Amino acid sequence: MTQQPESDRVIIFDTTLRDGEQSPGATLNSDEKLTIARQLARLGVDVIEAGFPYSSRGDFEAVQQIADLVGTPSGPIICGLARANEKDIKAAADALKPAAKGRIHTFISTSDIHLEYQLKKSRAEVLDIAQEMVAYAKSLMDDVEFSPMDAVRTDPQYLYEVLEAAIASGATTVNIPDTVGYTTPAEFGALIKGIVENVPNIDKAVISVHGHDDLGLAVANFLEAVKHGARQLECTINGIGERAGNASLEELVMALHVRRQYFNPFLGRPVDSTTSLTNIDTRQIYKTSRLVSSLTGMIVQPNKAIVGANAFAHESGIHQDGVLKNKLTYEIMDAQSIGLTDNSIVLGKLSGRNAFRTRLLELGIELSENDLNKAFLRFKDVADKKKEITDRDLEAIVNDETQKVPEIFVLDSVQVTCGDRAQPTATVTIRKPNGEELSDAAIGTGPVDAVYKAINRVIDVPNKLIEFSVQSVTGGIDAIGEVTIRLKYQDYTYSGYAANTDIIVASAQAYINALNRLYAAKTKLEEAALTVNS
């Protein structure tokens, strides 16, 4: 199925599972990728770039699984990334076979600095490769996207030539990446305008844009590109990605939603048209943001636009007074439009599984029977400790119980003694891979430090704690606390997440989660090294 060029709406291409996963420490396993892909489908994204199939067996299988289970006829296009060579492209095509709508996204650098120092090829050679590999991809799949990497720093005349050749060879989408986050809105708008005016067959393809946020301009650059003819935006949830991240999906979508009267004329619509400019269900934005944050370990800063904890908070007395009289005085969008709600649920320790499942479905959370059972048991445990369970509490419980972390080391118990006149001391019991249970104790500068030192005495895996974050899910003394940590081992970062009404327990469990990820990855690396040496 070949995607036809769009002119009156903006296509949302989500690359959270590919470029977003390249954030240090944001590595996801295949089950976590599938969980996010399903939520992205509920969110209404048009294209999910599910991964880079040739990069690893795990990524190939993750893309294949998403293509099979999320790439339904009524679902999004499932895309796989491939360098401009036959092996990469064939791997992408094979992984995408189960999808009703698949897309191969192939790329090659075109800037002179990349040609000279990275590829060591001439412009003519790269032009030939681009044509040949796009044609090869087209022979395997109708929907082909081509990206001239580092397009922003490519000579415009050469860029026009490459794009024209790629479209002639079968590309249905041409993507213009700001690979290093260098451009400004006026420059990017002019580049897109130049492409529209100087590539003769540009009407045969959708113009897409991809950009990084190194100068904090990615979203502004994309919105300017839309004004000049770009109709696909490549973005990530929470703006995660390499270095300073990618253009943020939620910011782009809500900018187009809130300011649609401004953007309508650029898409050939009447100024006062109220029709959405994207297919996104904005009420799913907050939920998607929370899911990606918990599974990647990438905490959303409080002042983050749209989804940050302070995005709809008002501290100033003048602002509070205005909002109480009329929200429009200081709020340009309704918190409910992104899925935020203050509703509490009438569920408690006497509630049954059916009521629990029904409420989760109302929140858009679908679980397997096994995950539902795990989440329900945890819900009952929390309900014994909290008088009121909110929707956000439920989300935290579900995220904590359904994360697919390798269960190598299991935390059996943790006990802490501390006080202003006592040395913080922790005792932990951990079940090791061979089933053996070991206990140890340690003294620390605080209760969490003592717990981590005790765990390290049992699990002897070198690591460095580089980030520790505790957030309250809701207000109140009995609130669930979410703990996210990041560990460094050699050149790799591993995240851990846990939620509990007891933040010491949550801290211990988050640390065990991160250590399990680290240990599993370390074991794989050691096995791979043995295979190579043998």
Q: What is the pLDDT of residues 433-453, one digit of tens each?
A: 888 899 999 999 999 999 999
pLDDT tens per residue across span 217-229: 999 999 999 999 9
The most confident of the ranges 3-12, 122-131, 329-338 is 122-131
Residues 120 and 57 in one domain: yes
pLDDT at 342 over 60: no
**Residue 2 belongs to some domain of the structure:** no
User: At 211, which helix (H) or strand (E)?
Assistant: strand 206-211
**Residue 302 belongs to some domain of the structure:** no
For residues 400-419, average pLDDT: 84
Instruction: Taking each helix axis as running N to C, give the angle between helix 391-402 and helix 369-383, from 0 to 180 degrees, rounded to the nearest 10.
Output: 130
Residue 481: the pLDDT is 87
Residues 390 and 459 in one domain: no
Residues 396 and 514 in one domain: no
Residues 429 and 367 in one domain: no
Residues 255 and 232 in one domain: yes
Residue 346: the pLDDT is 56
Bridge partner list, 79: 49, 103
Confidence bin at 480 (pLDDT 50/70/90): confident
| Kind of pairing between the strands at 481-489 and 464-472 | antiparallel
CATH number at residue 441: 3.30.160.270
The domain boundary, picked from 322, 340, 358, lies at 340
Confidence bin at 238 (pLDDT 50/70/90): very high
pLDDT tens per residue across span 260-277: 999 999 999 999 999 999
The domain boundary, picked from 402, 418, 438, lies at 402
Question: For residues 400 and 52, which has the higher predicted lDDT (pLDDT)?
Answer: 52
Q: Beta-carbon neighbour count of residue 1 at 10 Å? A: 12
Bridge partner list, 102: 78
Do the beta carbons of residue 394 and residue 345 sit within 8 Å?
A: yes
Residue 30: the pLDDT is 84
Residues 332 and 366 in one domain: no
Confidence bin at 7 (pLDDT 50/70/90): confident
Residues 125 and 238 in one domain: yes
In one-letter notation, the amino acid at residue 90 is: K
Residues 52 and 145 in one domain: yes
> What residues contact residue 297 under an 8 Å CB cut-off, 6+ apart?
25, 26, 484, 485, 486, 495, 496, 497, 514
**Domain membership of residue 250 as a residue range:** 11-296
The domain boundary, picked from 402, 419, 440, lies at 402
Residue 252: the pLDDT is 98
Residue 528: the pLDDT is 64
CATH number at residue 24: 3.20.20.70
Instruction: Taking each helix axis as running N to C, give the angle between helix 249-258 and helix 285-296, from 0 to 180 degrees, rounded to the nearest 10.
Output: 170
Residue 531: the pLDDT is 60
Confidence bin at 2 (pLDDT 50/70/90): very low
Place of tokens 């006149």: 421
**Residue 367 belongs to some domain of the structure:** yes
pLDDT tens per residue across span 99-132: 999 999 999 999 999 999 999 999 999 999 999 9
**Residue 496 belongs to some domain of the structure:** yes
pLDDT tens per residue across span 515-524: 988 888 887 7
Bridge partner list, 345: 389
Residues 398 and 499 in one domain: no
As for how many domains the chain has, the answer is 4
Residues 391 and 447 in one domain: no
Question: For residues 373 and 512, which has the higher predicted lDDT (pLDDT)?
Answer: 512
The least confident of 22-31, 37-46, 200-209, 339-348 is: 339-348
Residues 326 and 431 in one domain: no
Residue 320: the pLDDT is 44
pLDDT at 155 over 90: yes
Residues 177 and 224 in one domain: yes
Confidence bin at 3 (pLDDT 50/70/90): very low
Residue 322: the pLDDT is 54
Beta-carbon-side half-sphere exposure of residue 418 (alpha carbons within 13 Å)? 17
Residue 59: the pLDDT is 92
For residue 459, report the phi and psi dihedrals to the nearest 5 degrees: -100, 100
